[in-house]
Each structure stands twice: as structure tokens, then as C-alpha cells.
Amino acid sequence: MVSEAVRHVVIVGGGSAGWLTAAVIAADHRAAHPDGLRVTLVESPEVAPIGVGEGTWPSMRDTLRRIGVSESDFFRECDAAFKQGSRFDRWVDGGAGDYYFHPFSLPQGFGEADLAARWRDAHGAIPFADLASFQPHLCVAGRAPKQASTPEFAAVANYGYHLDAGKFGVFLKKHCLERLGVHYVPDNVLGVEAHPNGDIAALRTQAHGLLAGDLFVDCSGMRSLLLGQHFEVPFLDRQDVLFNDSALAVQIPYPFDNSPIASQTTSTAQRCGWIWDIGLPARRGVGHVYSSAHTSDDAAEAALRAYVAASGGPADCPAPRKIGFRPGYRERFWHRNCVAVGLSAGFIEPLEASALALVELSAAMLSDEMPADRAGMELVARRFNDTFRYRWERVIDFLKLHYVLSRRTDADYWHDNRARETIPERLRELLLLWAHRAPARGDFPRIEEVFPAASYQYVLYGMDFRAAGAGTRRRDPALADGYFREAADLTRRMLGALPDNRTLIDHIRRHGLPRI
């Protein structure tokens, strides 16, 4: 008989998705206490995590605080660094001076003045983000987003992290087992035992027999053992919109022990894709994301090696690791008593680092809406599925925007990305609106949007999207100019007060940050 009360959550798969989900649920629902929710994670000792999700959003600060870890320990154990946004090189026309920033801090005065119109009318020779925000200037100067006296998780400038994904999973696992009361089963899942109504009753494991539970979380990666293989929930392929399906990843040493650590992820467009460059304290993570329909693996590797050499990497670059993926997501994320989180739910591409953010959002909603019993699970599942269908589609819209706005003409890849039939209808409609006004909060009605209107402004105007004339709406150019001066003043003060990234990270690793 199906258990009515939800008292035991079983998570299949470790890595960042599995252990982060376990940590959030266990912390929120007192898994370490006898009357708390029981949380068990089963992880195959033979399956290694993909381990290339090395960028987070600022939301990770709240998540780490929520599960009760020390930010100082996180920096020490995960080879972590500060991330203040993304820099995009050669996305507009491919020229050497073609760059723009998508910083994590909002434009100064966002929502209070029509910054975009004033930028267009009077300051168009200056990149939009450089005019409206202090943060691109911090990134160019390699500054940290806080001082040594700033408490853990607090910020002077908004920030997320770069991290070693493999070490992050180990860090979360240690915290789950030592502090949060998560039960750990290192074993291979061989199959599923079902209740008569079709719910999962238990997992058949190789060494531990049957592992029963009330709610099962599929964090088994692209294999999607429960939602995809057992329940056969269809996968919605979105390669018709976003073409990239391959990546070559490599780890690059610094030339010197005290080499600067970049304050942003750098994404450099290529003929048939783009290259990420992420700075950690001990190394750089570099990878080429590309479309196998537009270029070969050999050509992609040659482009990656050329980039590594040009960016100060070693001449004998190690052989990159090939990662293949299908861009898309599951038709449903919560089916019966099974929820998919992470790669088992879907994957698009690493542009703008949405993968870990979607894990955070999934784990948070699952924990916040944890059903008390099986009867309440149907309602929660409908809400969860509606929320995440919307979120996955908004991620696709936002990533596609980068390609649609490009004026590159050096390969069919870019021409095909601009073809009308590859652009989602909602994005086409928004671009028609934005031809006459800036993206606004009303364009994104959900309370927790994945990418807010400010992010769309940074990309639109960073890629030199110029709206038409001013129209009839009343504007106050002096108000916008005041905010631009405010951003410039903040830039001067912060550049003089903030340490560089490596200096602060070294301090954190030796002495830690103040704890509130």
C-alpha cells in the first residue's frame, strides 16, 4: 500500500545537483533530528559527475547560507573565486574591439529613469554597461567585490562564484553527512520496484537490496534513470532553436603563481560556437561549445588550442575532454512521486551559467513546497511543472537573444541562428516591442524570473541594438545623466577601495572572513 505521509526522500545521484538538493531539503526539514524528514542519497561509485559547471549566479550565496556552510570554508575547499558577471568578446561583429559586459549589479537608477533612451540619444559611443554600471570597470581592473572586513556572504558589489565542480560536490557531500544528517548509500541502482498505482515503491540496488522511499529525486544526470528511463517522460529537443550540442573542455595552468584571477566569465565567440574562460585560484577552466552540424571536432579543437595559446596558456595544451549533449528538457519534471533535478531534467548550453541556477531553483521549490502526503503531491507537481516549463523556455529565449543580435557573417552558423524560423515566437514579439522601448519589468510577469529585464537590457544594448525614436512618452534626460554620474562616482570610489581578486582570495584562505 502506498504510504500517505511523505517521511523519506530518496535522491538518486550525487554531484552538484544531488548533494545540493540533499543539503537544501535536509537543512530545511531537520533531517538530523529524529522527528525530521529522512533524506537518503544513493550514488554509484562507478559513475563520475560531468564536473564542468564552474559558474554560479549570486543566488548561490543565499543557497550556501541557507544550508549553513561557511563561505570561508567554501573558498578553501572548492578552489572558489569571485564572479561578478560575464564578458562577451566578438559576439557583435567579430572585430578585435567588439566586447560588452553583463554584470550582476543592476544599472544605476534602473526602473527610475529611461537609461537606454538617454544612452542612445547622447552617449552611444560608450558601451551601455560601462556607462550605467560600476561593475564592468571592477572586472576590467580585476577587483574583488568586497573587502577583507566584509562579512561572509555580504557584498559591496553583487557577486556569484567560479568553482571547481568536482571539489564542490565533495564539499557538499561532507557537509550533508557531517552536519545535516543525510544518509548515504554508495551503490548501483539496478532497477525500480513500483506500487500498483505506478508510483515508485523502492529502488533495487546491487549491494543494499531494496531502498524504499516516499518521494524520489532523480539527479542521475543525462541518463535520467527514473524520470527518463523508468517513467519514459519524453524529452523535448530544442536544437531547432539553440544549435550547440558539443563541448571540448580543458584545464589550463597559470604562467605564474600570482597570475591575476579574472572577475568574470569571458565568453569569446568563434566561427561556429563560443569559448568559455573561467579563472580559479589554481587554474583556468576553458572550453569550446559548438554545433556539430556546423563544424567538426577537429576544427573545434584547433580553435580551442589557438585560443589557449593566444590567451597565455601553454604551447602543449593537454587533450581536451569531449562532452556531448542534447539541448532541451523533459516534458514534465515531476511525475507521480518522482522529481528530476539537474541534468536529468534537461540541459541547454553553458552560456550565462544557468545549469547550477536551475538546480538551486528546483531544490528550493521542492523543499519549500514539500508535500506532507501523497494526496498533496499532485497539486505541488502541477505547480512545479508549470513553473519550470516557464523557466526553461525563458532560459532558451535569453540565450537565443545573444545569437539573434549578432551581425557576424563568417559562417553559416551565425546566419542560421538569425533565421526567423529558429527564433521562439515570444522572443520575436518582445523584439518588436523593444524596437520602440526598453525591456521593462512588465515584460516578465513572474515573481521569480530567471533573467530580469535588466539582463535583457545589458545584452540588447551591449550588442548595439538601437531602438527607434523617442516616441511620445515623457522622459527626463537629466535624471538619467544623474544616474550615469552616480555610476561613475561609484566606480572611482570602488576602484580605490577594493582589493584585487587574488589578494582577497588569499586572505580568505589564510584568515577567513568575518561571520555575522
**Mean of pLDDT values over 187-192:** 97
Catalytic residue among 83, 146, 173, 400: 83
DSSP conformation class of 307: H
**Mean of pLDDT values over 26-30:** 98
Residue 448 has a pLDDT of: 84
83 is catalytic: yes
Place of cell 533535478: 341
DSSP conformation class of 285: E
Q: Place 338 in a pLDDT band, splitting at 50, 70 and 90.
A: very high
**Mean of pLDDT values over 252-281:** 97
Residue 1 has a pLDDT of: 41
The whole-angstrom distance between residue 45's C-alpha and the CA centroid of its chain comes to 26
H helix or E strand, kind and range, residue 186: strand 183-186
Residue 46 has a pLDDT of: 84
**Mean of pLDDT values over 420-424:** 98
pLDDT for residue 472 is more than 60: no
- Surface-to-core class of residue 391, CB atoms within 10 Å of its CB (0-12 exposed, 13-18 middle, 19+ buried): buried
Higher pLDDT, 471 or 173: 173
* Rounded-to-integer distance, Cα 155 and Cα 143, Å: 13
* Rounded-to-integer distance, Cα 408 and Cα 399, Å: 16
**Mean of pLDDT values over 129-136:** 98
Q: What percent of the chain has pLDDT over 90?
A: 93
**Mean of pLDDT values over 99-115:** 96
pLDDT for residue 327 is more than 60: yes
Higher pLDDT, 22 or 468: 22
Q: What percent of the chain has pLDDT over 70?
A: 97
* Rounded-to-integer distance, Cα 45 and Cα 483, Å: 54
350-384 confidence digits (pLDDT tens): 999 999 999 999 999 999 999 999 999 999 999 99
pTM here? 0.96
Residue 445 has a pLDDT of: 87
Q: For the chain, give the mean pLDDT.
A: 95
